[in-house]
Amino acid sequence: MPCKRTLFSLLLSLSFVTAAPAQNYITKNGTISFYSRSTLEDIDAVNNQVVSVLNIQKGDIAFSVLVKGFLFKKALMQEHFNEDYMESDKYQKAIFKGNIADMGKVNFTKSGIYPVMVSGDLTLHGVTRKISTGGTIQVRDSKIAATSEFNIRLADYNISIPKMVEKNISPTIRLTVDCMYEPKN
């Protein structure tokens, strides 16, 4: 009888272990796009190779993206972006490491869209700056999606635009992040 009781307790504890939700969620194919609107032309590019990790217990969130993975509609724009502005051979990655302050508002057992505030360090073109922005966490089945839109000033990251093309590129760029995570077991 004691043996049966021990076995029952063991199975019960095991069932709790397996039913516990994952703390870390990951994607290796998230999306970051950017948009520049200026008087002469609009420029946009997309990167679908974003690595991101989200810890739903601590609210820690990190993104990493290879700069060369941004795709443009025009080859010349992509070439200038990599060689002249982002210097992607030298600064290969853009990285964000931050925290979702109001993670407690998100109910991960109930499907829905939850607005959150994110703050952290964005490293771009070898320059790290603190940023703070709004975003949403969407809970759907066992998956979690995170989205955010925010602006950055190119001058803040030592990205200089030559006078000749300054009317073609906006000094402020709109960034959109869109990631669908899966649990990391």
Chain residues binding another protein by CB under 8 A are 24, 26, 28-31, 46, 48-49, 51, 53, 62, 64-66, 68-69, 71-76, 78, 89, 92-93, 178-180, 184
When the beta carbons of 28 and 167 are compared against another protein, the nearer one is: 28
Whether the CB-CB separation of 67 and 87 falls below 8 Å is answered with no
Half-sphere exposure of 20 (CA within 13 A, CB side): 12
When the beta carbons of 22 and 117 are compared against another protein, the nearer one is: 22
Taking the complex as a whole, the smallest distance from the CB of residue 20 to another protein amounts, in Å, to: 17
Taking the complex as a whole, the smallest distance from the CB of residue 154 to another protein amounts, in Å, to: 21
When the beta carbons of 31 and 150 are compared against another protein, the nearer one is: 31
Rounded Cα distance, 145 and 182, in Å: 9
Q: Which residue has 């703390």 as its token pair? A: 23
When the beta carbons of 49 and 156 are compared against another protein, the nearer one is: 49
When the beta carbons of 13 and 185 are compared against another protein, the nearer one is: 185
Radius of gyration of the chain (CA): 21
Whether the CB-CB separation of 78 and 44 falls below 8 Å is answered with no
Taking the complex as a whole, the smallest distance from the CB of residue 128 to another protein amounts, in Å, to: 17
Taking the complex as a whole, the smallest distance from the CB of residue 103 to another protein amounts, in Å, to: 18
Q: How far is CA 25 from CA 57, 132, 147, in A?
A: 11, 22, 14
DSSP at 104: G
Rounded Cα distance, 57 and 60, in Å: 8
Taking the complex as a whole, the smallest distance from the CB of residue 24 to another protein amounts, in Å, to: 6
Q: How far is CA 49 from CA 63, 70, 84, 123, in A?
A: 10, 9, 22, 17
Taking the complex as a whole, the smallest distance from the CB of residue 179 to another protein amounts, in Å, to: 8
When the beta carbons of 71 and 127 are compared against another protein, the nearer one is: 71
